[in-house]
Amino acid sequence: MAHISGRTGASGPAFVRLLARLAHAHVPTPRQPLADRLSLWLGWTDAIALSAVLSGNAKAAPASTPACDSAAREDCARVRDELALSIEQDRVLRPVRSRHRRDPALLVDPDDDTDFSRYRQRCLAKQQQMETGIAALRGRLRAMLAAGSPDMARLAAVDAVMERVLGTQERNLLASVPGLLEGHFLRLRKAGQASVQKQQAAGEPAGNDPGPWLDAFRADMRGVLLAELDFRFQPVEGLLAALRAS
Q: How far apart are CA 127 and CA 20, in angstroms?
A: 19
Distance, in Å, from the CA atom of 150 to the CA atom of 156, rounded to the nearest integer, reads: 10
The pLDDT tens digits for 90-140 are 999 988 764 444 444 444 444 456 789 999 999 999 999 999 999 999 999
Q: What is the mean pLDDT of residues 223-235?
A: 95
The pLDDT tens digits for 13-23 are 688 888 888 88
pTM higher than 0.75, yes or no?
Answer: yes
CA distance 83 to 128: 11
Angstrom distance (rounded) from CA 229 to CA 223: 10
Q: What is the DSSP letter of 40?
A: T
Residue 207, phi then psi, degrees to nearest 5 = -90, -170
Concatenated DSSP letters of 89-125: T-GGGS-HHHHHHH-GGG---HHHHT-THHHHHHHHH
